[in-house]
Chain A
Amino acid sequence: MTDRVLMGRVANAVNLLLFVAACASFALGLYALGDRRDLQAIYWLIVGGISLKAATDMLRPRASGR
């Protein structure tokens, strides 16, 4: 297995991990909101939003790398 293929698989795994993390974070945020833990809810929703944005950005990396 070449380095390029290996890195591609790692990138795929990170991509899926970020997506699952986004799903879990949103769910934890809504769960915390139901338990009246508002600050935790905001925290998890922010984490979920950043994870989801990172997951989608990985699919179309810009040429500049940022």
Chain B
Amino acid sequence: MSARPAPLELMPLSERTRVLLPGLYAWLLTVELPALSRGARPLGRVTALLALMALVSGLFMVGGRLRLARGLAIYGFIGTCVLTWALLGGELSPARLDRIRAAAGSLGWILYAFGWGRVRSAQLPEDAPNAVLGVPLVARSHLHRRTLPIAGCAVVAAVGFEALAFRVDRPEHAVLAHATATACALLILGASATLALRQGTRSEVASGAARLNAVAVRGAVLSVLFGLGLVWAALR
């Protein structure tokens, strides 16, 4: 007699709600409302409805089959949303888009993506059966006082870049602006992480003069660029 397979993992109600609400919000703002607009193709409305059904059925009707639930609520939902956008075509041009709605919809998609993550359980790590008990390890150092302001500045800047991209109303340039904003945000976040973590560490073992010398060429290029910019501004 073969042993019964282990029961599949159930998705708790709180996790379903955490995915469902942002998913519904993003779907409503970025898929359903454009699909209901005048001039939208009927097939786009059908695929928009299919997207909603994929999300809801994936999260609630599949029961304990977590893999199938995720397949429907992630791949099925996003796939039908993308299909809807492809069918809507000109209805999604930046000239017709409501920028506030688009920005709010983007936020909804971010929350939907984060909703699939899991919060660490409240169980103490020491209570785990495989935990090696002993004296708690002490951190070798603490974060420098400049670390959090640098990281905070980078996060604000990254969000600001994404918001500024929504000001671009020319269709081709809007795509470029969003790509540029994303690239700039990633660059700033990456550089800020390095910069913030190096504050007060042994990276400063290099003398200040050596660090200033390391950027001498780029500093000169920047000075020339600023000079050219000033001349340009004066001539206009």
Q: List A residues at the B interface (Cβ < 8 Å).
A: 4, 6-12, 14-16, 18-20, 22-23, 26-27, 29-31, 33-36, 38, 43, 45-62, 65-66
A41 to chain B, nearest CB (A): 9
- Give Cα A58 to B211, complex, Å: 5
Q: Which of A29, A38, A50 contacts B218 (CB 8 A)?
A: A50
Question: CB within 8 A of B191: which of A30, A45, A56, A62?
Answer: A56
Whether B180 is near chain A, meaning CB under 8 Å from some CB there, is yes
> Contacts of B222 on A, CB cut-off 8 Å?
47, 50-51, 54
Q: Which DSSP category, helix, strand, loop or mixed, fits chain A's interface?
A: helix
Are A19 and B229 within 8 A (Cβ)?
Answer: no
* Complex CA–CA separation, A15 to B164 (angstroms): 25
B28 to chain A, nearest CB (A): 27
Q: Is the CB of A11 within 8 A of B211?
A: yes
Tell me the minimal C-beta distance from B153 to chain A in angstroms.
Answer: 7
3 shortest interchain CB distances as A-B pairs = A7-B208, A34-B167, A61-B214
A54 near B188: Cβ-Cβ < 8 Å: no
Is A53 in contact with B218, judged by CB distance below 8 angstroms? yes
Are the C-beta atoms of A65 and B214 separated by less than 8 Å? Answer: yes
Q: Which of B214, B216, B226 has the most CB of A within 10 A?
A: B214
A22 touches B211 (CB 8 A): no
